[in-house]
Amino acid sequence: MPKKVIIIGAVALGPKVACRLRRIDPDAEITVIDRDELISYGGCGIPYYVGGDIADIEGLYSTTSHAVRDIDFFTNCKGIEVLSGVEATEINRKEKKLLVRHLKNGKKDQFSYDKLVIATGATPVRPPFPGADLPGVFIVSNLHHAKAIKDRISKGQVEKAVVIGAGAIGIEMVEAMTDLWGVETTIIEMADQILPQALGKNISRIVENHLKENGVNLMLSERVIQINGDGKGGLQSVETSNGTIPCDLVVMSAGVKPNTKFAVDSGLAVGRSGGILVDRRMKTTDPDIYAGGDCVELRNLVSGENMTMPLGSLANRQGRIIATNINGGSAHFKGTVGTFCIKVFDMGIAKAGLTSKQAEATGYDPVHSIVTQHDRAHFYPSSKLMYINLIADRKTRRVLGIEAAGLKGDAIKARVDAVAPLLKNNIDVDEISELETGYAPPFASAMDIINNAGNTLDNILENRNIPIDVLDFIEEFKKGKTRVLDVRGPKEAKPFIEKYGDQWINIPQAELRSRIKELPRNEPLCLMCDTGPRSYEAQLLLRSNGISDTKNIQGGYGMLMVTDPEFV
């Protein structure tokens, strides 16, 4: 008899399971159900639809050949039955039946299954402060929300908007509203940085300054008290612990929670985050029920802990694995290292693995290097500076994570993608130093920035390079706890000498050996060059001459410039 397979959810993972299974099992009876009528769309593209990069909403649920992925498409092209407007309410695991409710008329129904797949995704969190349910306050989880936001903006009804939460969706929505529509936008974030789950403070500060350069008002370490409005679609303001922000529209981006209530009620095991627990074959605690996508917990292959990772890329890979296993195969999804990338105006940001804070919480002793370098050969006309933060454990030298930012998003993603697959293999810093990458001046330097990040971290771990992060340097400098030795040329150092006087010493690298006696021997010095290598060499030279109270500013002037433009 043909195998009966029911799939709950028709956005990312669900359609992937269905289409893959149909290819390898032409006889299977495949039924996909979903609450919505809009199915099989690229949810990650919503901000780009709102921002105008994608002109028509149909672009988000069309194939590369421009076929619309609707119910007729799945019926006629794929041989898959799709039932929209249907909600799963209960699983009778003993009898292998799924109980559902038709949303249009409330009618209850049930379907027998041999295998069941849960692909119910996650729902944005709507914090319980007053006014969170007012008209004009939106979450972003489906195409209906996207269309409602874009319609309101395109009709000229929005001059000022507030985004609550500085995660990926929040930042992407800020860009969408600011860049095309010229909406005055404000981000409110409880944490003291943006993207707190994805980046450490050094790289996040670069992105924060880039947002400000593009006209975004950023409010960190701030709590929302309430949203004010008249209840008829006329929002007035968002009230925070430090003031009131006038606005016409609010977007909630305070995280997501897995849609798993009916699964829990049916006795399936969930983890601490509320996500469904699955094994490497994507099976739940019931051997005839699979789950994947945003509603499951996955193993972090660096920390060893479970986590949710709501990304369409993971959902599609898991969907293929689930279909293979339903068909009798033995495919495995081992976990994730949390690879992530985002575009913020004209800057690209990417990361994989753990931040320093996450590594410390896991029990590691993290050490990091920050490297500033051109993404192409420095002499190539289109080269731009990029910034990489590489993190390792002090004792074992195991590489734990990488973060990168720069103006060429393809270059940023390529570097992080080169390291991400290696993190699960417990690679050490030496392997990053020796990593083989492609080289040609239009694409990279002969010594790639990835290799230099490994080299720098090796020097730090061996106590040859004694570093200080730009953020820590600025704090010490402003308190008068350190002076600077700038080994760049007089022209580059002149503005700093004029601004900071005797606190800023300039001796070019070529003159340092002959003028070393001019330096103070009993007070701390922070060393700076353009990007870090010359100041590191200066540190070695000073140490060999008995001047040891020095710290090398990580990333040099290039990092200082993007971290604190006002200091520069």
Reported as a single tens digit per residue, the pLDDT across 423-450 is 999 999 999 999 999 999 999 999 999 9
Predicted confidence (pLDDT) per residue in 300-329, tens digit: 999 999 999 888 899 999 999 999 999 999
Specify the pTM: 0.94
Fold classification of 467-563 is: Oxidized Rhodanese; domain 1 (3.40.250)
Average pLDDT over residues 402-427: 96
H/E element, 528: strand 525-528
Q: Which CATH class is domain 137-254?
A: alpha beta
Which residue is associated with the tokens 């998003």? 409
CATH number, span 340-461: 3.50.50.60
Boundaries of every domain in the chain: 4-122+257-326, 137-254, 340-461, 467-563
Residue by residue, DSSP assigns 95-130 as: TTEEEEEETTT--EEEEE-SEEEE---EEE----ST
pLDDT of residue 522: 87
pLDDT of residue 42: 87
Same fold? 4-122+257-326, 137-254: yes
Q: How far apart are CA 283 and CA 322, in angstroms?
A: 8
The sign of the dihedral angle between the CA atoms of 144, 150, 156, 162 is positive
pLDDT of residue 240: 95
Residue 146 has pLDDT above 80, yes or no: yes
Structural tokens at position 173: 């929505």
pLDDT of residue 233: 62
Among 39-48, 70-79, 84-93, which is the least confidently predicted range? Answer: 39-48
Active site residues per annotation: 44
Which has the higher per-residue pLDDT, 310 or 194? Answer: 194
Predicted confidence (pLDDT) per residue in 232-253, tens digit: 768 899 999 999 999 999 999 9
8 Å CB contact between 164 and 238 = yes
Pick the closest to residue 193 from 356, 75, 434 (CA basis): 356
Q: How far apart are CA 100 and CA 133, in angstroms?
A: 28
Q: What percentage of the chain reaches a pLDDT higher than 70?
A: 99
Strands 256-258 and 249-252: unpaired
Residue 231 has pLDDT above 80, yes or no: no
8 Å CB contact between 540 and 527 = no
Residue 536 has pLDDT above 90, yes or no: yes
Assess if CATH 2.40.420.20 describes domain 4-122+257-326: no
pLDDT of residue 52: 85
